Every structure is written in C-alpha cells, then in structure tokens.
Amino acid sequence: MKNDSKYNLNNGPAIFVEGLHKKFGSIDALAGVSFEVARGEIFGVLGPDGAGKTTLMRILAGLMDYGDGSVRVAGFDLKTEQPGLSDLIAYMPQRFGLYEDLTVMENILFYSDLYDMSRGAALDARIEELLEFCRMAPFKNRLAGKLSGGMKQKLGLTCALVHTPQLLLLDEPTNGVDPVSRREFWKILNEMRKSGLTIFVSTTYLDEAERCNRIAFINHGRIGSISTPQQLKKSSQNLLWRLEVSDKFRAVEVFKNVEEIISALVMGPAIHIFTKKDCAKDAVEKIVRNALAPLGIQLYSIGECEANLEDIFIERMT
C-alpha cells in the first residue's frame, strides 16, 4: 500500500506561498497572496463568492499556472520543478465528479483506477477503512445518484482519499449540505488530521472556520490576516455593541447611513454594531437613539460585547 511516493511532507511546511499573482484578463483573481501551512494542521481559507478561493486551490493542486510568486508544496516549486505530486495530494473540487449511475463502491474503484492502484486485498482493506471512517459502509451498493447531499460529499471524500495522500485540498466541501451532516463531515476531517493528514480547506461558513487551526481571510484576491479563530475574535480594532431594539431589520438599514457606526448586523434577537475604540457607552447610546427616534424605533438595551467570527468577517468585508 501507499505511501511509496518519493515526495513527502517530512520536512518544512506542507504549503509555502509567497507573492502569488493570478490574472484572468484584467481581473486580479489573486493579487499577491502569501501564507504557509504547517504539516498536520487544518488551514481554512474563508471568503465570499469570487474572492479567489478556487483559483488558489487549483494552483495548489497543480492544475492551473500562475503569474508572479512562489508556490511550494511539500518543498517543491510548482513552477520550476513540476514534481508530479498527485500521489501526495488529494483535491476535492467544489463540484466533485461522482458518477451518479455507478454505486458507491464502483465510484471508489473508479478513482482508485485513476490513481493506478492495483486491485486486491490491500485496496479492499483501505476502502473498508475509509467507508467505516466516513460512516458509509452500509451504503456501498447504493447508486451515487440516490445519496443525500451530505452522503455525496462523504463519498467524494472517500474517493479523494483512497490513495492515502498526505495533503488534502478541499474546495467548499460542505456547500449546500445540512448542518448536521456538515458537523459530521468536520468530525471526520478532525479525526483524519489526528492521523497526520494536512488539510487545506476553503469555506464560506463561519462555524466551519471556527473548527480550523488557523484561518486566512481572503477577499478580492488578497489575504487580509491569518490567525487562529481565537486570535481573530480578539483582533478587532473597534468596539462591538449589542443592542436590542423594537425593529432590528429597519434599525440595521438606518445604521448603514450613520457615520460613527462602522458596520451593523442582525445577530439572533439582537443587533451588533461596531464603533471606533474611543466611543464611550453614553456617546454610542446617544448616536443610536438619535438615529432610531425619527423612525419610532425603540432602543431596549445596549452593552459592549465580545466579537464572534461573523462580526469579524463582516467588519473585514465592509
């Protein structure tokens, strides 16, 4: 069984990217991106639609060329060395190609053939192990087209991992999957990380970003900051306030036009607003009351609060 590749992640970072640029015509899909991913970590790239996540992922998978910059995977320069890292890497694209009219098992065997794996007891054992791991064993004879969204993603993961890679690239792997299945998918990823796999994952879900060891914010092809979820939550340069009002949706619209309010977001039953650090509570309360009074919206409560990732995300994106 694998891994007999001469490339491995024994030394240095799993991924090293410096000053990476990628243009599509006049669009800067990546405009000078730099980061490193350590071996055995789950590194998340969080960003809105069109931020550059898939472009970055495809470059790392060796499927797309790029402009300026240096990209090293397992120590090899993707531009000059082209080491053929397919044994080492698994890439699960945003739309993973499953054959709906083949069964779960047939799909997995199809992918193992793509990786030139010889059939036999060792492959059977690997597939059984992965199916157990992904809780897919009871469904191995089911047609892929008859699986739920979450099960399809787990089958995609099984197919991507069949050749025992050391680095897993996942592009929005749980997009459109229900929250329970997403949680289960992440549990599987965490267990895989514990067994030594390095995972590079893009997402638009903040609860998923929270599960990564480190997160990079990407927007308009630029990475703003990289830190642990805990550091990120404490990284705001502004003050966050939690308000309860009589009409939160109209209030948020009003706040968009108030100069002192940097951003406003409905958060459950309340509203979160950011103001500059030097705003005292009395001053913020006055600003809020002045903005809401003409519309007859009541302010029930106001207090400083700690930011969550969603707050930080909105703050960074505005």
Ligand X SMILES: Nc1ncnc2c1ncn2[C@@H]1O[C@H](COP(=O)(O)OP(=O)(O)OP(=O)(O)O)[C@@H](O)[C@H]1O
Site residues (CB under 6 A) for ligand X?
24, 27, 29, 47, 49-55, 94
Record the tokens describing residue 41, joined without a space.
């970590």
Interface residues with Mg ion (CB under 5 A)? 53-54, 94
Query: Helix 121-133 to helix 104-114 angle, to the nearest 10 degrees?
Result: 120
| 87 and 163 Cβ atoms separated by less than 8 Å | yes
Supply the minimum distance, in Å, between the C-beta of residue 94 and ligand X.
Answer: 6
Question: Which among Mg ion, ligand X, none contacts residue 224 (Cβ within 5 to 8 A by kind)?
Answer: none
Contact 30, 22 (CB under 8 A): yes
Task: List Cα–Cα distances, 58 to 79, 164, 215, 246, in angstroms.
Answer: 13, 20, 19, 47
DSSP string across 13-49: -SEEEEEEEEEETTEEEEEEEEEEE-TT-EEEEE--T
Report the residue number, 14 or 223, with the smaller CB distance to ligand X. Answer: 223
55 binds, among ligand X, Mg ion, none (CB under 5 to 8 A by kind): ligand X
Of these partners, Mg ion, ligand X, none, which one is at the site of residue 50 (CB under 5 to 8 Å by kind)? ligand X
49 binds, among Mg ion, ligand X, none (CB under 5 to 8 A by kind): ligand X
Closest approach, Cβ 226 to ligand X, in A, equals 16
Q: Smallest distance, Å, CB 8 to ligand X?
A: 28
* Partner in contact with 24, chosen from ligand X, Mg ion, none, beta carbon below 5 to 8 Å by kind: ligand X
Q: Provide the minimum distance between the beta carbon of 42 and ligand X in the complex, in angstroms, as a whole number.
A: 18
Report the candidate in 129, 161, 135 with the shortest Cα–Cα distance to residue 148.
135
Q: Which is nearer to Mg ion, 53 or 163 (CB)?
A: 53
Smallest gap from Cβ 98 to Mg ion, in A, equals 18
CB of 56 vs ligand X, minimal distance in Å: 7
Residue 47 touches which member of Mg ion, ligand X, none, C-beta under 5-8 Å by kind: ligand X
Among residues 50 and 97, whose Cβ is nearest to ligand X?
A: 50
63 vs 125, which CB is nearer to ligand X?
63
Rounded-to-integer distance, Cα 75 and Cα 228, Å: 24
Determine the straight-line distance between the first and last CA of the chain, rounded to whole angstroms: 50
Q: How far is the CB of 54 from Mg ion (least distance, A)?
A: 3
CB count, 10 Å around CB of 68?
12
DSSP 248-300: HHHHHHHHTT-TTEEEEEEETTEEEEEEETT--HHHHHHHHHHHHGGGTPPEE
Q: Please, what sign has the CA dihedral across residues 21, 23, 28, 29? A: negative
Could you tell which of ligand X, Mg ion, none binds residue 101, using a CB distance below 5 to 8 A set by kind? none
- Nearer CB in complex with Mg ion: 3/54: 54
Q: Residue 83 or residue 173: which is nearer to ligand X going by CB?
A: 173
> Quick one: 42 or 57, whose CB is closer to ligand X?
57
Structure tokens at 241: 């306030």
Give the C-alpha separation, 318 to 271, whole Å.
16
